[in-house]
Amino acid sequence: MTEFIPPGTRYIDLPSPFPMKRGGTLAGARIAYETWGTPNAARDNAILILTGLSPDAHAAMHDANPAPGWWEAMLGPGKPIDTTRWHVICVNSLGSCKGSTGPAAIDPNTGTSYKLAFPELSIEDIADAAAHVVRALGFERLACVIGNSMGGMTALAFLARHPGVARSHINISGAAHALPFSIAIRSLQREAIRLDPKWNEGNYDEANYPESGMRMARKLGVITYRSALEWDGRFGRVRLESDRRDDEDPFGLEFEVESYLEGHARRFVRNFDPNCYLYLSRSMDWFDLGESCGGTADQGLAKLRVEKALAIGVHTDILFPLQQQQQIADGLRAGGVDATFLPLESPQGHDAFLVDIGRFGPAVGDFLKSL
């Protein structure tokens, strides 16, 4: 699975055994991470970025890997997350396949990959692993924890389970718990993978890989990551040129939007491990910040202690809808946090934070400048 890992990735070993919230432990687990910028003398300029389901730790280029990262426009010298001021750490989530230990990794106890023997993964485990990385890198305190999408859930779990570690927080298109529409979408994505005979209860290999299931799952993902509004303008009812169509297939690709989904799916399927996808996807459905205090998500939010917070969302997001970022800001404020809710008019839906840097850049940059 080394093909999944960007060059220049570094690693931090987790304590062994590493206890998992829902039971079981990991032996010899590690977390992949990358950094940008330099720690200052007081070591109080560190920012942690927690990612969505699929990204690796390569958020932006650096000397060891000059390839553009998934948040290249947001992160670097003079950019909204300005690496001339901040020392930025991005971790690949526990349970992923981009360098961190997950279902695709080798279990040292058996010498073979975990597959479905990997213990049940929760958002809280991802948060605990990230907190260990922060401490292992020698930071007592972070200037900010930034979480996008699933990472927004991870960030809230981080704040709840590691109080005092972060001074501030930016939650981007995140949520304090999963809502039933999002659960339904993710459940269907997992079903698509599991229905592929090649998934084989998790026992696939490169030669027998559940490509159809992963393609379906990814297409459904992309549909929910973007927005109908964006697509109306971008694709409309434009047909594919005839040389890009298979006239022998009566139900083949015909519209540009179908080709767009197909392209996204093809780029993804062999670059992400299906079992890791299942585990990470399920962890989002399970997440409910209310569990952190035995109450509701609102109560969980009101117990979080940071000095300042920003919750950003977009009105076209159907997967982590805007009211969930409103809930985060309101809940933090109810607990005494100086929290701001910032709804943005991006047409790009859930993924807007990746592409609409024109709106998200100033929002993130202004918040960080104010620290």
Nearest approach, Cβ of residue 234 and its own copies (Å): 8
- Beta-strand runs (E) in 37-183: 46-50, 75-76, 81-82, 87-91, 106-107, 112-113, 144-148, 168-172
In the complex, the smallest distance separating the C-beta of residue 251 from its own copies, rounded to whole angstroms, is 5
**How many whole angstroms separate alpha carbon 8 and alpha carbon 11?**
10
Selecting among 54, 93, 96, 149, the annotated active-site residue is 149
> Which one among 190, 300, 306, 311 touches its own copies, defined by CB under 8 A?
190
Backbone torsions φ then ψ of 94, nearest 5 degrees: -55, 135
What does the alpha-carbon distance between residue 276 and residue 283 come to, in Å, rounded to a whole number? 11
Catalytic option among 54, 350, 351, 356: 350
Establish if 27 lies at the interface with its own copies (CB under 8 A).
no
Choice between 92 and 281, CB closer to its own copies: 281
Say how many C-beta atoms besides its own lie within 10 A of residue 40's C-beta: 13
Check binding of 192 to its own copies (CB under 8 A): yes
The reply to whether 231 sits near its own copies by the rule CB under 8 A is yes
Closest to its own copies by CB, 11 or 255: 255
- Examine residue 295 and tell whether it contacts its own copies (CB under 8 A): no
Interface with its own copies, residue 254, by CB under 8 A: yes
Minimum CB separation of residue 348 from its own copies in Å reads: 13
**Catalytic site residue from 56, 107, 125, 317:** 317
8 Å CB contact between 140 and 117: no
* N-term to C-term CA, the chain: 40
Using the rule CB under 8 A, give the single segment among 35-43, 79-87, 230-238, 352-360 that binds its own copies.
Answer: 230-238
Using the structure block, give the residue that is written with the tokens 């605990």.
128
* 317: annotated active-site residue: yes
Q: Does 181 bind its own copies (CB under 8 A)?
A: yes
Q: How far is the CB of 188 from its own copies (least distance, A)?
A: 5
- The CA-atom distances, in angstroms, between 95 and each of 126, 136, 230, 239 are 8, 19, 32, 40
Q: Contact between 284 and its own copies (CB under 8 A)? A: no
Pick one of 137, 183, 355, 371: the residue that binds its own copies (CB under 8 A): 183
Distance CA 306, CA 314 (A): 23
Where are the strands (E) in the chain, listed by range? 10-13, 18-19, 25-26, 30-36, 46-50, 75-76, 81-82, 87-91, 106-107, 112-113, 144-148, 168-172, 308-314, 338-344
Q: Select from 102, 151, 274, 321 the one that contacts its own copies (CB under 8 A).
A: 321
Report d(CA 20, CA 26) in Å as an integer.
Answer: 7
Contact flag: residue 257 with its own copies (CB under 8 A): yes
CB of 304 to its own copies, least distance (A): 20
Q: Is 212 in the site for its own copies (CB under 8 A)?
A: yes
Q: What is the SS3 assignment for 102?
A: coil
Interaction with its own copies in 67-126: which residues (CB under 8 A)? 116, 120
- Among 26, 144, 216, 276, which residue interacts with its own copies (rule: CB under 8 A)? 216
Contact 14, 26 (CB under 8 A): yes
User: Who's near 252: CB < 8 A, 6+ residues apart?
Assistant: 245, 246
Of residues 67 and 188, the one with the C-beta less far from its own copies: 188
The reply on whether position 30 binds its own copies by CB under 8 A is no
Q: How many helices (H) and strands (E) does the chain have?
A: 11, 14
The DSSP symbol for 239 reads B
When binding is defined by CB under 8 A, the residue of 10, 161, 167, 194 that contacts its own copies is 194
> Which CA distances in Å does 53 have to 8, 41, 214, 236, 325?
21, 34, 14, 29, 18
Residue from 145, 160, 175, 178 in contact with its own copies (CB under 8 A): 178
Residues with a catalytic annotation lie at 149, 317, 350
The residue ranges that bind its own copies (CB under 8 A) are 116, 120, 177-185, 187-188, 190-192, 194-197, 212, 216, 219-220, 223, 227-228, 231-232, 234-237, 250-251, 253-258, 261, 278, 282, 285, 288, 318, 321
